[in-house]
Structure 1
Amino acid sequence: MFKQADSANGGGQISARLALLRDEIVRRQALAFQPRPAGSRGPAWERFLGELSTPVEHWQAMRKARPATELAGASRPVMLLPGFGTHPVRMKPLARVLEAAGHRVSDWGLGFNFGPSEERFERLCERVVAMARKEGEPLVLVGWSLGGIFAREVARLHPEAVRLVITMGTPFSGDRRANNAWRAYQLIAGHSVDDPPVGRDMAVKPPVPTVALWSARDGIISPRSACGRKGERDLAVPMRCTHLGFAAHPDVAATVGRLIDAY
């Protein structure tokens, strides 16, 4: 009799969990299929499809790239923050160039970037503060796409631990739906782009030097959102690459290296 009762309770718990899972799937689907508001536009689909050319562009650019040793300057501690849906390994090419130039490079230590949560953001802040203390100087934070939102927010809350913020194709300015990724973001992250747990005031400039790299050829993020307005960043630098190219394009790596040396 007791075994039957335990079995019934176990079956009830499984059913309850399945019901919760179904409700969550339905909720996220609703977020993913929200209509785009009138007047809100991301990059044209031709540019979005142009993201497929990223590997070819990298190969062509690598043939013309200067040796990394020519970029050598003062050694700085640098943390790389990956874009939405990506793992830090995607930024290894950038890390190798910066390491060859003498910088001490680390990743953000949180694995895949599937969107912000208060807990993950708190862990990132703790990691940045601890690393700055260990290094004996503030860090340079280099954030690709959503990683740049994290970088700006960390610097806003802990400016004593951050020397410089460099964002790459980061949508910190203007319309939060001026991109071709907001539906995927809402599906995976599980919350609306209008009410994120981190970066509610994304356009507020951190109290440290802040540089925005943007590209008119970006097929995912609106160039206008990634460039920002005066007062939202200290400097905006145009690049010629795809959105996916920010993580590994040699011209981007060279520009990041020069900016680190300049600050």
Structure 2
Amino acid sequence: MNDRRQRKSSSRRPRVSAKAAATLDWAGEESTGQFDPPSLKHFLMEARAPAELFGGLASFFVDHWFPRGDGHPIVVFPGMGASDRSTLLLRRFLRKLGYRVYGWEQGLNLGPRHGVLSRCRDRVHEINERYDRKVTLIGWSLGGIYAREMAKLEPDRVRQVVTLASPFAGSPHATNAYPLFRLLTGHHVHHEPGLLDRIREAPPVPSTSIFSRTDGIVSWVCSVQNPAPQSENIQLAASHFGIGFNPLALFAIADRLAQHEGAWQPFEIRGLRKLLFSAFGA
């Protein structure tokens, strides 16, 4: 009977595609259970977000330690159920570094309802044409999926994409926010053939995914890109609700933005960075 139960239990485990398995091999994790939402332990660790907010505020006083770039325009997309207020600290910090930074200006992000993505596209057009320069897109959680999709639609207008704890890979069920997504949008993602494959596809511009294995909302494997010449992953310790103002995330974003256009290189973990990102990247 025990053998029968084990066979029944194992048959319920989600199958892992070769592509997903390769990603997990790169990340150094076993593939079993990759579609499970974050554990209760990690969910409770979301309580550290206020400490990350304090760290983000403190970063304003040491901004001279952060890399600076050419001041090109940036659009920031908020996460599910959030508005531009949630990205205010991030946008103000990047302005202090000399960039021209804008919110998405669509109020609360209630999911990809009718007209949302077309207005996102209009926003990218507007900022690109205002400065006659390519725009960097930064997206937090669901906002990162919007950013990646805009880069696919407008590669000639987008300089690079940076996502923060965005679930663009893996299963939509591997998030503790999926019930909220269904409630707000009425969508069952698995009922839309081909959608997940399109979302997983990397944009044709440099893209950086910043993620945390201790994310309490999104399973970290859903935020890992397959290694590619223009795609990278940066791991650090952060909560889902605090990653947008986590000091290490701010530093990584500043470093990515500071690169010369057309000369993108992967993030280097060396010197003090190696100490910080190794010590706090688990």
Distance 1:60 1:159 in 2: 34
Task: Output aligned runs, 1:231-246, within 5 Å.
Answer: 231=228, 234-246=231-243
2:172 matched to 1:176? Answer: yes
The share of aligned pairs that are identical, in percent, is 29
**Alignment match, 1:24:** none
User: TM-score, normalization: structure 2?
Assistant: 0.75
**Alignment match, 1:77:** 73
**Alignment match, 2:27:** none
Amino acid aligned to 1:86: A
Task: Output aligned runs, 1:171-250, within 5 Å.
Answer: 171-195=167-191, 200=196, 201-231=198-228, 234-250=231-247
List alignment gaps of at least 5 residues for structure 1: 1-36
User: Which of 246, 258, 261 is the matching residue for 2:258?
Assistant: 261
Greater Cα radius of gyration, structure 1 or 2: 1
Contact 1:99 1:105 in 2 (8 A): yes
* Alpha-carbon displacement from aligned partner over 1:21-77 (angstroms, at most 9, x marks no partner): xxxxxxxxxxxxxxxx85431110110111012102433575577622443321110
- Give the CA RMSD over aligned residues: 2.3
SS at match of 2:200: coil
Using a 3 Å threshold, how does the CA distance of structure 1 residues 61 and 155 change in structure 2: closer, same or farther?
closer
Using a 3 Å threshold, how does the CA distance of structure 1 residues 168 and 49 change in structure 2: closer, same or farther?
same
2:42 matched to 1:47? Answer: yes
Contact 1:209 1:234 in 2 (8 A): yes
Using a 3 Å threshold, how does the CA distance of structure 1 residues 131 and 68 change in structure 2: closer, same or farther?
same
Task: Output aligned runs, 1:53-64, within 5 Å.
Answer: 53-59=48-54, 63=58
Runs of 4+ in 1 over 4 A off after TM superposition: 60-66, 195-200
Contact 1:153 1:198 in 2 (8 A): no
Contact 2:63 2:97 in 1 (8 A): yes
User: TM-score, normalization: structure 1?
Assistant: 0.80
Amino acid aligned to 1:204: E
**Alignment match, 2:273:** none
Distance 1:64 1:107 in 2: 21
Using a 3 Å threshold, how does the CA distance of structure 1 residues 62 and 131 change in structure 2: closer, same or farther?
closer
List alignment gaps of at least 5 residues for structure 2: 1-11, 15-34, 265-282
Shift of 1:245: 1.0
Using a 3 Å threshold, how does the CA distance of structure 1 residues 253 and 233 change in structure 2: closer, same or farther?
same
Using a 3 Å threshold, how does the CA distance of structure 1 residues 78 and 238 change in structure 2: closer, same or farther?
same
State the number of aligned residues: 227
